[in-house]
Chain A
Amino acid sequence: MGERKTVDARGAYCPGPLMELIATLKLVDIGDEIEVLSSDKGSAADIPAWVEKVKHELVSIDELDKHWSIVVRKAK
């Protein structure tokens, strides 16, 4: 079971949350999970599309109070 880190990108505009996710992904091990908190509506669609394109794993996506929680597992 990998570790989980949280990236709080609330308040950042596109493509800020995605870039913060990617910068953090480079620092963690395969199998680790990163939860991105984003208030940018586009991230809810953009981050899953990016994850599919580059073949990581989308663990969950939840709309919370005025922001989204998107959890990604590093797969490679």
Chain B
Amino acid sequence: MSSPPLFLVLCSGEHEKLQMAGMMASVAAVSERPVQVFVSMNAIYAFRRDAAADDRYKGGAFSDLMKEKNAPDAVELFHQGKMLGDMKMHPCSMALDITEWSEDDLVEDLFDEPLGLTKFLADAEEGQIVVL
């Protein structure tokens, strides 16, 4: 029996939340659990293509520790989930409108097509939603 899909909504730009989301998404995706990630609000800034490494995540003490100890990079975890498992990443179309970004402003080779919340919620009826 296949596992129910996992639906992640990313709102926060905090390093700790993005890290946990990247861990959850990548591990679920490689564990034969389909994953869909919807990126909106402050979370979208972490995925800006030209963001400097030090500027990509906003964080506190634990963020500093993760950087110091070379924990896996959060955006790279999403890349791994997508490469090795069944995972889709959608930028929120509203977030792109508000920031006046196009898909070319987002990190390369990670995102699928932009999605509205209504479509994401309709898809998510078949699984669990986690908001971070």
Contact = CB atoms under 8 A, between A and B. Distances in A.
Interface of A: 11-16, 18-19, 22-23, 26, 50, 53-54
A30 B69 CA distance: 35
Q: Is the interface of A mostly helix, strand, loop or mixed?
A: helix
B84 A19 contact: yes
Interface residues of B, number: 14
A12 B80 CA distance: 15
A24 B69 CA distance: 24
A19 B83 CA distance: 11
A15 B31 contact: no
Given A12-B72, A15-B27, A54-B31, 4 more contacts: A13-B71, A15-B23, A23-B80, A53-B32
B127 to A, nearest CB: 17
B36 interface: no
A60 B8 CA distance: 34
A16 B22 CA distance: 12
